[in-house]
Structure 1
Amino acid sequence: MRPNNRSAKRAQRKVRIAGHEVEMNVVSLIDIFAILVFYLLVSALTVEVLPSPNALQLPKSVVKEQPKQTSVVMITKADILVDNVRIMGTDEAQAAPGNVLDALKGELLRAPLQRNEAQPDVITRGDINIMADKAIPYAVLKKVMATCTDARYAKIALTVVEKKGGAS
């Protein structure tokens, strides 16, 4: 006698399946884990941690884009450093005549020239990041920025600490 209603057929199917071992296909699960590992590796490698010496107290601001891997000019209360190498004192920079700091420019000119991706006919030294203590006089910061511009850096970024609750 064969059952005609659906629930009886379903019950018979469950009894038949319960007696057999069920094979599990793990290929798609392995693919998902491989993609997850690849994503985590790529996203972990794109994070850049800039050196944050205790001598600097960075200003706070809203961060709109992440910094790129570039040369770093640090302006502490006592010194101006390029990639952690002391170039000159902050007092010397403030007392220097004109807007361009010759010692700093000499160090910045060591970076190779490169073509601008957005404008292939423009040749620059790329981007530079300035980390300055928030107590540094604006005149010193202005001279450092003018020197970076004179050394043909295309984009000058100022490093800040992200404010909590700032716009993304």
Structure 2
Amino acid sequence: MTADPHVAAVHRDAAHRFSKVTVDVVRLLEGLGVEGDAHAGVTVQHLSRIRADPTQPNLRQVHLIAVELLDELRENGFDVLPGALGENVTTSGVALLGLPTGALLHLGPDAVVEVTGLRNPCVQIDRFRPGLLKEVVHTDAAGVVVRRAGVMGVVRAGGEIRPGDPVAVVLPAAPFRPLERV
């Protein structure tokens, strides 16, 4: 984490579209996700996962991306604004990808999101911006797949969050479990 971890922007969309609409405030609902968002629900809401098994628990209620990734993508020639990659919360100053499974993100005065894993982006990201998939998913020199398209989580405590709200991270008890795709 860097100095002054905070919420940079918040987003939602009632329809299943790739990008989300930036708004002034979102309300997180405990056990469900972002009020008014197509991905809110107790069971899976992603269309491909519904087809596979609609009874699966929804471990992807909230999608978070660090603004630092968006800045890096912009430096590499991809104009990607907050919300464009489908995240609900854009953070600043939080090393999201380095968190362990089960880390708690306190967002604003009341909301708490438990990190469940890594977003596994699909070909839709290349439809949005050709070549972007290889920027956010690649294989390192050791042959390990590296996913950088943000983290997913479930809402443990509801509340409203706005840009500028503080973010506090509470780590789970050791030993830490590394994030895997969800």
TM-score of Structure 1 vs Structure 2, range by shorter chain: under 0.3
Structure of greater relative contact order (alpha carbons < 8 Å, 6+ residues apart): 2
Given the two structures, how large is their TM-score scaled by the length of structure 2?
Answer: 0.26
Which one has a larger percent helix, Structure 1 or Structure 2? Answer: 1
Larger radius of gyration: 1
Given the two structures, how large is their TM-score scaled by the length of structure 1?
Answer: 0.27
Which one has a larger percent strand, Structure 1 or Structure 2? Answer: 2
